[in-house]
Structure 1
Amino acid sequence: MLELDNIFNNVTVMLQSLSDILESEQQILIGTNTISQLNDVINQKSQLLIELKLLDEKRLKVSARYNIQSPYSENPELALKWQAITNTTQRLAQINRDNGILIQNRMNMTQQSIDYLKSINNPAVYTYHGYQQPETISSKRAKV
């Protein structure tokens, strides 16, 4: 059981790190001048999620070896730690969803800006006589 306790302690520490990363990500998404840091934060988050997945796989193997399962009600100390991990995970999942919404909103605003700029900045097309053509002419010639 000591092995499970160590795993739970490591998961708790990693979840705290993930919480810090998600909060940094959210601050970057809300702010306007630090967006260049987003890539680093996303990479840190991805690495941490991989490590958490590996720890969870280890937890499942150890649990199977001791023939116990979550929520670990057979051991009150483990049950309390598991409940804390579960609660933290749910809270972090909500923060991550919120960050996803912020990212989607930024992408929508960026696309709207691009569409607007395209609408006001149509390149002028000139004929071979030097007159401005109001619409783009197709490169295919019509047969008469």
Structure 2
Amino acid sequence: MQELNHILNKMTELLQQLTGILHTEQMILIENYLVHKLGNIIDEKNQLLIKLKILDEQRIAIGKELHLASPYSDNEPLANQWATIVKSTSLLAQMNRDNGEILQQRLDQTRQTIDFINKSKKTNIYTNGGYQKTETVSTTRAKV
């Protein structure tokens, strides 16, 4: 029983870390700063999710040995821990969906910008230096 308690505590701890990571990911997506760190944040998130999956598999295996299953109604401390985990997981899933929607909006805006530039009547709107290309008017006049 102690081992199951330890696993649930570790899962709660990892979910708290995941909350921080998802919050950081959301701030990067919203404020568009430190975008270069987004890859690292996603890697950290994935590592935590792998650890959580392993812990959950251990929880299930130990539960089978002890003939206990979630929501652990017969054991109040375990039931309380499990309720906290379920609530946290639900909130984190929503936060992750929100981050996905923000990311999708960014991608859509980028695609629209690229499409606008590509559909422009002028083939080269910007020079290599990033300045807008201006049309030059010939100074040669026709003589009549």
Counterpart secondary structure, 1:73 = coil
Tell me the residue number matched to 1:17: 17
Q: How many residues align?
A: 124
Give 1:8 shift.
0.5
CA distance in structure 1 between the partners assigned to 2:112 and 2:32 by the alignment:
17
Shift of 1:32: 2.0
* Unmatched runs of 5 consecutive residues or more in structure 1: 125-144
SS in 1 for 2:123: coil
Give 1:100's aligned residue. 100
Query: Counterparts in 2 of 1:30-41, with a 5 A limit?
Result: 30-41=30-41
Q: 2:76 corresponds to which letter in structure 1?
A: P
Identity of matched residues, %: 43
Instruction: State how far apart, in whole Å, the 1-side matches of 2:33 and 2:7 are.
Output: 38
Q: 2:61 maps to what in 1?
A: 61
How far 1:120 moved relative to its partner?
A: 1.7
Which residue pairs with 1:140 in the alignment?
none
List runs of 5+ in structure 2 lacking aligned partners. Answer: 125-144
**Alignment-derived partner of residue 45 in structure 1:** 45
- TM-score, normalized by length of structure 2? 0.83
- RMSD in angstroms over aligned alpha carbons? 1.2
Q: Cα offset for 1:123?
A: 3.5
TM-score (norm 1): 0.83
4+ residue runs of structure 1 moved beyond 6 angstroms?
Answer: none
Q: Which residue of the partner structure matches residue 81 of structure 1?
A: 81
Matched, 1:71 2:37: no
User: Which of 7-16 and 30-39 deviates more?
Assistant: 30-39
Q: Assess, with a 3 A threshold, how the Cα gap between structure 1 residues 121 and 3 changes in structure 2: closer, same or farther.
A: farther
Structure 1 counterpart of 2:7:
7
Alignment of 1:26 onto 2:26: yes
Q: Which moved more, 1:31-40 or 1:68-77?
A: 31-40
* Matched residue, 1:115: 115
- C-alpha separation between the residues in 2 aligned to 1:39 and 1:17? 17
Aligned-partner Cα distance in 1 for 2:53–2:121:
48
